[in-house]
Structure 1
Amino acid sequence: MSSEVTKLVAEQRTQFGKGAARKIRRAAKIPAVMYGHGTQPVHITLPGHEAMLALKHTNALLTLVIDGTEHMALAKDVQRDPIKPVIEHVDLVVVRKGEKVTVEVGVHVEGEAAAETVVTTVLTTLEVEVLATDIPESVTVDVEGAEAGTQVLAGQVSLPEGAELLTDPEALVVNITQQVTQEELDAELEEAEAEAGIEREESDEDAEAEGGDEAGTEGESAEGASSEGDSSEES
């Protein structure tokens, strides 16, 4: 799915700094800066609610109306509050129709691999060069029925028409391995501990089990001695 262009009416601003930014956010707006193509950075204010909706997606493409003039820009960096659902600042790069841009596109894995396998996404994004108006939301890797030992490299991932992969084609994106049982994990752990000279402390359960075994052995010995005594008396 290509990027959808959202139109926002922005306002130029002349006040900067943390104090000015806090004032803008209190007014339910978002401070931003737009730059690119050799132009001087333009400091602007975005409408809070509309911008929040538009910036929910990565690589959001916007048409900004500033003083009646439209500018197409790509959201390059969105700074969010680590706790509150608030956008603190946005960096925007001016783009033009027909221009290609370099972006990170998310990797989406779909399908069910073969039974008793583990699917690991090694790379969660791929770097691609693509038309600014054709940026995909994500690229898909289908692992339906894939057996253990299957590996999907970056060069094997299908990209939208016209997109060029910039990530190393030999980079591992998805790895499918055989599921390991708990017994195998325990055996590997014991082997590693033995090689490292680590001795395990006896657990309460093991101590109880050993105590029960010793008690049983002692009981059996006592019973045996009693039987021998009885046999001597009878003789």
Structure 2
Amino acid sequence: MAEVKIHAESRTEFGKGAARRIRRDNKVPAVLYGHGSDPVHITLPGHDTMLALKTANALLLIEVEDGESHLALPKQVQRDPIKGFIEHVDLVIVRRGEKVQVDIAVHLEGEAVSDTLVVLEAQSILVEAEATHIPDGVTVSIEGLEVGAQIHASDLTLPTGTTLAIEPDTLIVNITAQQTAEQAEAELAEAEAEAGIERAEPEAAAEEPVAAAAE
């Protein structure tokens, strides 16, 4: 994974008011920590940070204006729940060659046989890898799998240098029979009954009036 260089400024103001001022300038308040060092409070450029964090487990080379540089991984990214912009970033300092534990995405390829339902039980898995060689994800082939087939963590082919950090028997993919309309209706009815929901009976068709025309 290539490093993304970001120039940062030292931050000396704290609190909600200071954070709002920073965001108004299209910047992001952040903190660097790790390896027993004191937290380093910095400000990141908003646009560059947004682009960098579009990639999961982005490896960042943070160059602070005082001349210091830090290799870091995003630990926690806080976003505005409505507008989605980045409000704050926690960055953990890493070193070249150091092993870190990160979540990587699980990608499916291929198609199972017809009339099956592919259930992705784990959309990501925890692995251990070198900080400078974190894989983008792991690809799992489901080509031709039939009902009853299962793929566990131990079945995954991980990149060289990457190892599992979860139990090997963790279920990743489960192939089940596709549900029929009748089964879905019966399952819904059962769930409604357990929840005490009574279905309204369809109204009987209104009787057509008999016109008695008097001659």
Provide closer, same or farther for how the CA distance between residues 42 and 198 of structure 1 changes in structure 2, counting only shifts above 3 A: closer
2:7 aligns with 9
Report the secondary structure of 1:134's partner residue. Answer: coil
What residue number does 2:108 align with?
109
Q: Which position in structure 1 is the counterpart of 2:212? A: none
TM-score (norm 2): 0.87
Q: CA offset at residue 106 of structure 1?
A: 1.3
Q: Secondary structure at the match of 2:71?
A: strand
Query: What's 1:175 paired with?
Result: 174
| CA separation of 1:55 and 1:196: change in aligned 2, threshold 3 A | closer
Closer/same/farther in 2, CA of residues 44 and 149 from structure 1, 3 Å limit? same
Q: In structure 1, what is the equivalent of residue 138 of structure 2? A: 139
Distance 1:23 1:200, change over 3 A: closer
Deviations 1:93-119 (A, max 9, x none): 111110011111111112211101111
Give me the identity figure in percent: 58
Q: Per-residue deviation at 1:186?
A: 3.5
**Displacement, 1:49?**
0.7
- In structure 1, C-alpha distance between the alignment counterparts of 2:82 and 2:190, rounded to whole Å: 44
| 33-42 vs 195-204, which moves further | 195-204
- C-alpha distance in 2 between matches for 1:202 and 1:164: 57
Output the CA distance in 2 between the equivalents of 1:114 and 1:121.
16
Who is 1:224 aligned against? none
TM-score of the aligned structures, taking structure 1 as reference length: 0.80
Evaluate the alpha carbon distance shift between residue 195 and residue 130 of structure 1 in structure 2; reply closer, same or farther with a 3 A threshold: closer
Partner of 2:59: 61
1:233 match: none
Match of 1:129 in 2: 128
Name the residue aligned to 1:232: none
> Matched residue pairs, number?
207
Question: Equivalent residue of 2:184, what SS?
Answer: helix
Structure 1 residue 77: Cα displacement: 0.7
Give unmatched runs, 5+ long, in structure 1: 212-235
Q: Deviations over 1:39-86 (max 9, x none)?
A: 000000011111110011121110011122321111111111111131
1:185-204 to structure 2, matched below 5 A, reads 185-187=184-186, 202-204=201-203
Larger radius of gyration: 1
Letter matched to residue 139 of structure 1: V
Opposite residue 15 of structure 1, the aligned amino acid is E
Report what 2:27 is aligned to.
29
User: Per the alignment, in what secondary structure is the counterpart of residue 155 of structure 1?
Assistant: helix
- Partner Cα distance (2:195, 2:169) in 1: 35
Which ranges in structure 2 are unaligned for 5 or more consecutive residues?
A: 208-215
1:138-171 Cα distance to aligned partner (Å, 9 max, x none) = 1111111111111111111111111110111111
Partner secondary structure for residue 21 of structure 2: helix
